[in-house]
C-alpha cells in the first residue's frame, strides 16, 4: 500500500502569508496526486488534481507542484476563508489520503 505523509500537521499563519504544505509518498506516484480543502462540519472540496492542475473555480492563489514522491500545495496570499484542513490524496494505486494539515490563525 502507498502511504502519504503530510507536513506540517499544524501550520499557524496570518492573513496575507504565503504558506506551503508538503506531501510525501512512500513510492513514486508520478503526478497522480490531488489536494482537498475541508472546513469544519463540511465535506472536502477538490482543489487540485494531477499534482498541479487546478479545478475550475478554484482561486489562483492555490497552486500545486511536484512529481514522483514529493509534492507541495502553496497558497500565495492566505485569505480568511482559507483557514481549514488540507489533505493530499494519491490515486496511482487505489486511493490513500495524507493525515491532513490544519492551517490555523496565528
Partner 1 sequence: EVQLLESGGGLVQPGGSLRLACEASGFTFNNYAMSWVRQAPGKGLEWVSSVSGSGSSTYYADSVKGRLTISRDNSKNTLYLQVNSLRAADTAVYYCAKGDAGDTFDIWGQGTLVTVSS
Residue 29, all three cell numbers: 506516484
Residue 89 CA neighbour count, 13 Å, CB half = 15
Residues linked to residue 37 through DSSP beta bridges, in sequence order: 45, 86
Q: How far apart are CA 80 and CA 103, in angstroms?
A: 11
Nearer to partner 1 by Cβ, of 53 and 79: the residue is 53
**105 forms part of the interface with partner 1 (CB under 8 A):** no
What is the distance between the alpha carbons of residues 83 and 37, in angstroms, rounded to a whole number?
A: 9
- Per-residue contact flags (x/-) with partner 1 for residues 40 to 79, judged by CB under 8 A: --xxxxx--x-----x------------------------
Minimum distance between the CB of residue 77 and partner 1, rounded to whole angstroms?
A: 25
Contacts to partner 1 by CB under 8 A:
1, 34, 36, 38, 42-46, 49, 55, 87, 89, 91-100
Amino acid at each position: 500500500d502507498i502511504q502519504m505523509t503530510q507536513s506540517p500537521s499544524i501550520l499557524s499563519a496570518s492573513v496575507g502569508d504565503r504558506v506551503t504544505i508538503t506531501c510525501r509518498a512512500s513510492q513514486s506516484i508520478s503526478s497522480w496526486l490531488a489536494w482537498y480543502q475541508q472546513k469544519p462540519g463540511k465535506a472536502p472540496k477538490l482543489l487540485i488534481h494531477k499534482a498541479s492542475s487546478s479545478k475550475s473555480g478554484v482561486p489562483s492563489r492555490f497552486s500545486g507542484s511536484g512529481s514522483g514522491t514529493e509534492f507541495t500545495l502553496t497558497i500565495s496570499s492566505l485569505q480568511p476563508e482559507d483557514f481549514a484542513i488540507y489533505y493530499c490524496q494519491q490515486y496511482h494505486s487505489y486511493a490513500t489520503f495524507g493525515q491532513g494539515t490544519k492551517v490555523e490563525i496565528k
